[in-house]
């Protein structure tokens, strides 16, 4: 009896201790995703648009146990979550946390949660807000990147100063025999702000290069995805630590910069990355060469760019995400960027 009471007291103390300790997101890479980014909602989206919310609700209930097909960002999210095996305690102390941010209500969102379980994605946290965008909760959850196919939600998030990208209707890259994760970024308007891009758009290429040479030792101000890159770089550091303890381990995470910059403007970009304490594995300074031709060989699992004219080509070969930031995406500016690749299904 005494032994039983002692065990009961021990467990009660630990339960109370656990309840008192909030789950810390500050030291993790946190990604927020709409279901439209990770899964193919074409069929259910068509029901919602053509027949309304009530029929959509009945449709989702009737197909509750039928998993949604993988969507554009599925390979990226799957591989990102797999990096949690680098942690000594992947369950209680993961390096990566992915949170579902959904316009569904909890009932219609149940199919999405069952789909997550079907694919064995370690995503357990979700926010459901019927018909409303949940992007306002990005800072509360310490989210470094929010992905959605809903253009309005992403535009609003960027306008509010949050890191967000619109997943475009793109070719999916997912060779299941390949366990690596390749991420590619444009530089200006994505990792860095648009100050230099503004010079380029208003004064031309010559003035742009002159500005970059003049300010070569002055790092750029951060753009929307700078913090995401920094947190990814920390995971690369964890890989190196893991490699020391596990000889023979081959690094899985690879980060590439694919930019229209070329010499002499390349040096300031590299100076900026160094000032942030990060280093890309690859850098492509293309100087006007079509990015899609390089990305077709590189095969990143996700590519981020702020310019729609680049994404028209890249979306045909790799999963592409539009970052609607800066002068090139400002409707009040005189710069007109052509429409991006077709949008993915986005109603939810």
Rounded to 10 deg, the angle between the 42-51 and 53-62 helix axes is 150
pLDDT at 336: 54
What span, in angstroms and rounded, lies between the C-alpha atoms of 128 and 110?
Answer: 10
* Closest C-alpha to 104, from 159, 45, 171, 23: 45
Token couple for 182: 């390749």
Task: Report the predicted TM-score, pTM, of the whole model to 2 decimal places.
Answer: 0.89
Answer whether 348's CB lies under 8 Å from 35's CB: yes
pLDDT score of 237 more than 70: yes
pLDDT score of 98 more than 70: yes
Mean pLDDT of the chain: 89
Token couple for 170: 């793109």
pLDDT score of 12 more than 50: no
Which of these is catalytic: 40, 186, 305, 306? 186
Q: What is the dihedral of CA 129, 132, 137, 138, to 10 degrees?
A: 120
Domains observed in the chain: 8-167 (3.40.50.1000), 181-329 (3.40.50.1000)
Q: Is 186 a catalytic residue?
A: yes
What span, in angstroms and rounded, lies between the C-alpha atoms of 327 and 115?
Answer: 39
The larger pLDDT score, comparing residue 275 to residue 216, is at 275
Among 86-100, 143-157, 319-333, the range scoring the smallest mean pLDDT is 319-333
Mean pLDDT (whole number) for 79-103: 94
What span, in angstroms and rounded, lies between the C-alpha atoms of 42 and 59?
Answer: 13
What span, in angstroms and rounded, lies between the C-alpha atoms of 222 and 318?
Answer: 25
pLDDT at 7: 40
Token couple for 266: 């390349």
pLDDT at 176: 86
Partners of residue 32 on adjacent β-strands: 99, 146
SS3 sequence of 303-338: EEECCHHHHHHHCCCCCEEECCCCHHHCCCCCCCCC
Q: Which tens digits make up the pLDDT trace of 186-227?
A: 999 999 999 888 888 888 888 888 988 898 899 999 999 999
pLDDT at 202: 87
Residues 6+ apart with CB under 8 A from 264: 209, 212, 213, 216
What span, in angstroms and rounded, lies between the C-alpha atoms of 311 and 171?
Answer: 12
β-pairing verdict for 181-185 and 282-285: unpaired
pLDDT score of 161 more than 80: yes
What span, in angstroms and rounded, lies between the C-alpha atoms of 36 and 142?
Answer: 21
269 pLDDT tier (thresholds 50, 70, 90): very high
Mean pLDDT (whole number) for 321-343: 77
């Amino acid at each position: 009896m005494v032994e039983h009471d002692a065990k009961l007291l021990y467990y009660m103390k630990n339960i109370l201790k656990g309840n008192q300790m909030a789950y810390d997101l500050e030291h993790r890479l946190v990604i927020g995703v709409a279901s439209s980014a990770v899964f193919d909602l074409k069929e259910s989206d068509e029901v919602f648009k053509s027949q309304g919310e009530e029929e959509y609700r009945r449709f989702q209930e009737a197909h509750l146990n039928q998993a949604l097909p993988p969507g554009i960002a599925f390979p990226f999210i799957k591989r990102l979550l797999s990096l949690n095996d680098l942690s000594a305690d992947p369950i209680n102390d993961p390096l990566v946390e992915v949170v579902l941010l959904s316009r569904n209500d909890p009932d219609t969102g149940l199919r999405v949660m069952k789909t997550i379980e079907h694919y064995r994605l370690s995503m357990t946290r979700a926010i459901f807000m019927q018909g409303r965008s949940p992007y306002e909760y990005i800072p509360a959850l310490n989210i470094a990147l929010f992905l959605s196919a809903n253009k309005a939600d992403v535009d609003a998030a960027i306008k509010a100063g949050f890191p967000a990208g619109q997943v475009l209707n793109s070719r999916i890259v997912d060779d299941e025999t390949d366990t690596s994760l390749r991420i590619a970024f444009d530089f200006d308007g994505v990792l860095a702000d648009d100050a230099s891009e503004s010079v380029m758009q208003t004064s031309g290429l010559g003035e742009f290069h002159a500005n970059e040479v003049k300010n070569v030792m002055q790092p750029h101000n951060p753009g929307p995805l700078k913090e995401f890159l920094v947190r990814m770089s920390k995971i690369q550091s964890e890989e190196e630590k893991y490699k020391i303890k596990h000889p023979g381990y081959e690094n899985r995470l690879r980060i590439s910069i694919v930019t229209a910059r070329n010499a002499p403007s390349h040096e300031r970009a590299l100076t900026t990355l160094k000032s942030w304490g990060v280093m890309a594995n690859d850098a492509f300074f293309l100087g006007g060469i079509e990015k899609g031709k390089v990305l077709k060989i590189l095969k990143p699992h996700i590519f981020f760019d702020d310019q729609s004219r680049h994404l028209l080509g890249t979306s045909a070969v790799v999963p592409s995400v539009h970052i609607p930031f800066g002068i090139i995406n400002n409707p009040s500016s005189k710069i007109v960027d052509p429409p991006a690749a077709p949008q993915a299904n986005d109603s939810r």
